[in-house]
Amino acid sequence: MQKIKVIKGYLRSVPYAQVLSIIGVLVGLIGSISTTAVDSNPGSIDWHRFFFWLTILFFCGLLLIAIQTHLRYRKEKYDPILALKYQDEFLGMEDKRSKAAVALKNRRNNLAEIFKNKEELDCIDAILDFLDDLGFYLEGDQISAEVMHQHFYYWIRGYWLACRPYIEKWQSQENESPRWNHIKDLFEETCEVETSGNEILKKKEYAYDVAEFLYEEIGSADEK
Protein backbone atom coordinates (compact mmCIF):
# COMPACT_ATOMS: atom_id res chain seq x y z
CA MET A 1 0.00 0.00 0.00
CA GLN A 2 2.70 2.48 0.99
CA LYS A 3 4.84 1.67 -2.07
CA ILE A 4 1.85 2.20 -4.34
CA LYS A 5 1.18 5.58 -2.74
CA VAL A 6 4.82 6.58 -3.28
CA ILE A 7 4.64 5.62 -6.96
CA LYS A 8 1.38 7.52 -7.38
CA GLY A 9 2.90 10.51 -5.60
CA TYR A 10 5.86 10.61 -7.95
CA LEU A 11 3.62 10.25 -11.00
CA ARG A 12 1.51 13.20 -9.81
CA SER A 13 4.66 15.25 -9.30
CA VAL A 14 6.09 14.79 -12.80
CA PRO A 15 6.23 18.20 -14.56
CA TYR A 16 4.44 16.94 -17.65
CA ALA A 17 4.54 20.34 -19.38
CA GLN A 18 8.34 20.31 -19.22
CA VAL A 19 8.48 16.71 -20.43
CA LEU A 20 6.42 17.64 -23.49
CA SER A 21 8.54 20.74 -24.04
CA ILE A 22 11.77 18.75 -24.04
CA ILE A 23 10.31 16.13 -26.37
CA GLY A 24 9.11 18.92 -28.66
CA VAL A 25 12.54 20.60 -28.69
CA LEU A 26 14.35 17.34 -29.44
CA VAL A 27 11.93 16.34 -32.19
CA GLY A 28 12.09 19.84 -33.68
CA LEU A 29 15.89 19.84 -33.51
CA ILE A 30 16.16 16.47 -35.24
CA GLY A 31 13.63 17.47 -37.89
CA SER A 32 15.26 20.83 -38.57
CA ILE A 33 18.79 19.49 -38.91
CA SER A 34 17.67 16.49 -40.99
CA THR A 35 15.72 18.73 -43.36
CA THR A 36 18.65 21.13 -43.72
CA ALA A 37 21.05 18.29 -44.42
CA VAL A 38 18.81 16.73 -47.06
CA ASP A 39 18.13 20.05 -48.79
CA SER A 40 21.74 21.19 -48.84
CA ASN A 41 24.66 18.87 -48.33
CA PRO A 42 23.89 15.52 -46.61
CA GLY A 43 27.56 14.88 -46.03
CA SER A 44 28.14 18.12 -44.18
CA ILE A 45 26.89 16.77 -40.84
CA ASP A 46 28.75 14.37 -38.59
CA TRP A 47 25.71 12.29 -37.60
CA HIS A 48 27.56 10.25 -34.98
CA ARG A 49 28.66 13.43 -33.25
CA PHE A 50 25.23 14.95 -33.65
CA PHE A 51 23.41 12.01 -32.05
CA PHE A 52 26.03 11.81 -29.30
CA TRP A 53 25.29 15.38 -28.20
CA LEU A 54 21.57 14.83 -28.74
CA THR A 55 21.76 11.87 -26.34
CA ILE A 56 23.64 13.99 -23.79
CA LEU A 57 20.98 16.68 -24.10
CA PHE A 58 18.22 14.08 -23.69
CA PHE A 59 19.68 12.63 -20.50
CA CYS A 60 20.38 16.08 -19.06
CA GLY A 61 16.71 16.87 -19.65
CA LEU A 62 15.69 13.63 -17.93
CA LEU A 63 17.94 14.45 -14.98
CA LEU A 64 16.40 17.90 -14.55
CA ILE A 65 12.89 16.40 -14.77
CA ALA A 66 13.79 13.74 -12.19
CA ILE A 67 15.19 16.34 -9.78
CA GLN A 68 12.17 18.60 -10.14
CA THR A 69 9.79 15.63 -9.76
CA HIS A 70 11.53 14.59 -6.55
CA LEU A 71 11.44 18.12 -5.13
CA ARG A 72 7.75 18.53 -5.97
CA TYR A 73 6.96 15.12 -4.49
CA ARG A 74 8.68 15.98 -1.21
CA LYS A 75 6.95 19.36 -1.07
CA GLU A 76 3.53 17.78 -1.55
CA LYS A 77 4.36 14.87 0.76
CA TYR A 78 5.16 17.18 3.68
CA ASP A 79 2.66 19.93 2.90
CA PRO A 80 1.08 20.68 6.32
CA ILE A 81 -1.62 23.17 5.27
CA LEU A 82 -4.63 20.84 5.37
CA ALA A 83 -3.32 18.97 8.41
CA LEU A 84 -2.86 22.20 10.39
CA LYS A 85 -6.43 23.21 9.58
CA TYR A 86 -7.82 19.95 10.91
CA GLN A 87 -5.44 19.92 13.86
CA ASP A 88 -6.79 23.28 15.01
CA GLU A 89 -10.33 21.94 14.64
CA PHE A 90 -9.54 18.79 16.58
CA LEU A 91 -7.76 20.64 19.36
CA GLY A 92 -10.90 22.75 19.70
CA MET A 93 -12.95 19.64 20.46
CA GLU A 94 -11.69 19.30 24.04
CA ASP A 95 -15.14 18.91 25.57
CA LYS A 96 -16.22 16.29 23.02
CA ARG A 97 -12.96 14.40 23.39
CA SER A 98 -13.23 14.46 27.17
CA LYS A 99 -16.81 13.13 27.12
CA ALA A 100 -15.84 10.43 24.65
CA ALA A 101 -12.89 9.39 26.79
CA VAL A 102 -15.10 9.18 29.90
CA ALA A 103 -17.57 6.96 28.05
CA LEU A 104 -14.77 4.76 26.74
CA LYS A 105 -13.26 4.44 30.21
CA ASN A 106 -16.57 3.63 31.89
CA ARG A 107 -17.69 1.12 29.23
CA ARG A 108 -14.32 -0.23 28.22
CA ASN A 109 -15.29 -3.86 28.89
CA ASN A 110 -18.66 -3.77 27.14
CA LEU A 111 -18.22 -1.44 24.16
CA ALA A 112 -19.77 -4.07 21.91
CA GLU A 113 -23.13 -3.58 23.62
CA ILE A 114 -23.89 -0.71 21.30
CA PHE A 115 -27.67 -0.66 21.72
CA LYS A 116 -27.77 -1.26 25.43
CA ASN A 117 -25.31 1.59 26.08
CA LYS A 118 -26.25 3.71 23.07
CA GLU A 119 -27.14 6.86 24.98
CA GLU A 120 -23.85 6.87 26.86
CA LEU A 121 -21.71 5.89 23.89
CA ASP A 122 -23.20 8.27 21.32
CA CYS A 123 -20.69 10.95 22.30
CA ILE A 124 -17.90 8.81 20.82
CA ASP A 125 -19.33 9.15 17.33
CA ALA A 126 -18.23 12.77 16.78
CA ILE A 127 -14.60 11.84 17.39
CA LEU A 128 -14.79 8.80 15.14
CA ASP A 129 -16.49 10.85 12.40
CA PHE A 130 -13.60 13.30 12.52
CA LEU A 131 -10.95 10.57 12.34
CA ASP A 132 -12.84 8.87 9.53
CA ASP A 133 -12.68 12.13 7.56
CA LEU A 134 -8.92 12.15 8.05
CA GLY A 135 -8.76 8.59 6.76
CA PHE A 136 -10.84 9.59 3.76
CA TYR A 137 -8.41 12.41 2.91
CA LEU A 138 -5.46 10.08 3.40
CA GLU A 139 -6.98 7.52 1.05
CA GLY A 140 -7.61 10.28 -1.48
CA ASP A 141 -3.95 11.39 -1.28
CA GLN A 142 -4.92 14.83 0.01
CA ILE A 143 -2.67 14.37 3.04
CA SER A 144 0.33 12.04 3.23
CA ALA A 145 0.72 9.36 5.89
CA GLU A 146 3.86 11.14 7.11
CA VAL A 147 2.04 14.42 7.73
CA MET A 148 -0.91 12.59 9.25
CA HIS A 149 1.44 10.74 11.58
CA GLN A 150 3.19 13.93 12.63
CA HIS A 151 0.00 15.76 13.53
CA PHE A 152 -2.50 13.08 14.59
CA TYR A 153 -0.90 9.72 15.35
CA TYR A 154 -1.26 10.06 19.13
CA TRP A 155 -5.05 10.39 18.80
CA ILE A 156 -5.41 8.00 15.88
CA ARG A 157 -3.71 5.22 17.82
CA GLY A 158 -5.47 6.02 21.08
CA TYR A 159 -9.01 6.23 19.73
CA TRP A 160 -8.69 3.36 17.26
CA LEU A 161 -7.42 0.95 19.91
CA ALA A 162 -9.88 2.22 22.53
CA CYS A 163 -12.89 2.17 20.18
CA ARG A 164 -12.12 -0.89 18.11
CA PRO A 165 -14.80 -3.18 19.65
CA TYR A 166 -17.35 -0.39 19.30
CA ILE A 167 -16.41 0.32 15.67
CA GLU A 168 -16.35 -3.32 14.64
CA LYS A 169 -19.70 -4.03 16.29
CA TRP A 170 -21.35 -1.20 14.38
CA GLN A 171 -19.71 -2.34 11.15
CA SER A 172 -21.11 -5.85 11.64
CA GLN A 173 -24.72 -4.62 11.69
CA GLU A 174 -26.39 -5.66 8.45
CA ASN A 175 -29.16 -3.07 8.55
CA GLU A 176 -26.89 -0.12 9.33
CA SER A 177 -25.15 2.11 6.80
CA PRO A 178 -21.32 1.78 6.70
CA ARG A 179 -19.54 3.59 9.51
CA TRP A 180 -15.93 4.67 9.90
CA ASN A 181 -14.55 2.54 7.09
CA HIS A 182 -11.38 4.61 6.81
CA ILE A 183 -10.16 4.61 10.42
CA LYS A 184 -8.52 1.19 10.37
CA ASP A 185 -6.47 2.05 7.28
CA LEU A 186 -5.68 5.44 8.80
CA PHE A 187 -4.19 3.72 11.85
CA GLU A 188 -2.33 1.07 9.87
CA GLU A 189 -0.69 3.56 7.50
CA THR A 190 0.37 5.98 10.23
CA CYS A 191 1.52 3.03 12.36
CA GLU A 192 3.70 1.98 9.42
CA VAL A 193 5.33 5.42 9.56
CA GLU A 194 5.76 5.18 13.34
CA THR A 195 7.42 1.75 13.23
CA SER A 196 9.17 2.02 9.83
CA GLY A 197 7.77 -1.40 8.99
CA ASN A 198 9.37 -3.12 12.00
CA GLU A 199 7.00 -5.96 12.92
CA ILE A 200 8.16 -6.13 16.54
CA LEU A 201 7.53 -2.42 17.08
CA LYS A 202 4.22 -2.74 15.24
CA LYS A 203 3.05 -5.43 17.68
CA LYS A 204 3.91 -3.10 20.55
CA GLU A 205 1.81 -0.37 18.98
CA TYR A 206 -1.16 -2.71 18.66
CA ALA A 207 -0.70 -3.65 22.33
CA TYR A 208 -0.59 -0.01 23.43
CA ASP A 209 -2.28 0.52 26.80
CA VAL A 210 -4.99 3.11 26.22
CA ALA A 211 -5.76 3.70 29.91
CA GLU A 212 -3.27 6.57 30.24
CA PHE A 213 -4.39 7.98 26.90
CA LEU A 214 -8.02 8.09 28.06
CA TYR A 215 -6.96 9.69 31.34
CA GLU A 216 -5.17 12.47 29.45
CA GLU A 217 -8.13 12.97 27.12
CA ILE A 218 -10.51 13.21 30.06
CA GLY A 219 -8.37 16.00 31.45
CA SER A 220 -8.09 17.82 28.11
CA ALA A 221 -11.16 19.94 28.77
CA ASP A 222 -9.83 21.07 32.12
CA GLU A 223 -6.60 22.27 30.49
CA LYS A 224 -8.44 24.46 28.02
Per-residue model confidence as pLDDT tens digits over 43-82: 556 667 777 777 887 788 788 888 888 777 777 778 888 8
Query: 79: alpha, beta or left, given left = phi > 0 and alpha = psi -120 to 50?
Result: beta
Residue of 67, 5, 57 lying closest to 26 (CA atoms): 57
Q: Determine the pLDDT at residue 19.
A: 75
Burial class (CB in 10 A: 0-12, 13-18, 19+), 182: middle
Q: Determine the pLDDT at residue 128.
A: 97
Interval 94-120 mean pLDDT: 92
Interval 125-131 mean pLDDT: 97
- pLDDT above 70 (res 39): no
Q: Determine the pLDDT at residue 46.
A: 65
Q: How confident is the model at residue 221 (pLDDT cuts 50, 70, 90)?
A: low
Interval 193-214 mean pLDDT: 92
Q: Determine the pLDDT at residue 34.
A: 64
Q: What's the CA gap between 221 and 98, in Å, rounded?
A: 6
CB distance 114 to 121 below 8 Å? yes
Interval 179-207 mean pLDDT: 93
Q: What's the CA gap between 40 and 46, in Å, rounded?
A: 14
Q: Determine the pLDDT at residue 166.
A: 95
Residue 190 one-letter amino acid: T
Positive or negative: CA dihedral 217, 219, 220, 221: positive
Q: What's the CA gap between 211 and 5, in Å, rounded?
A: 33
CB distance 99 to 123 below 8 Å? yes
pTM score, whole prediction: 0.75
Q: Determine the pLDDT at residue 223.
A: 52
Centre a 10 Å sphere on the Cβ of residue 142 and count the other Cβ atoms it contains: 13
Q: Determine the pLDDT at residue 155.
A: 97
Q: Determine the pLDDT at residue 135.
A: 96
Burial class (CB in 10 A: 0-12, 13-18, 19+), 77: middle
Q: Determine the pLDDT at residue 70.
A: 79
Interval 180-202 mean pLDDT: 94
Q: Determine the pLDDT at residue 185.
A: 95
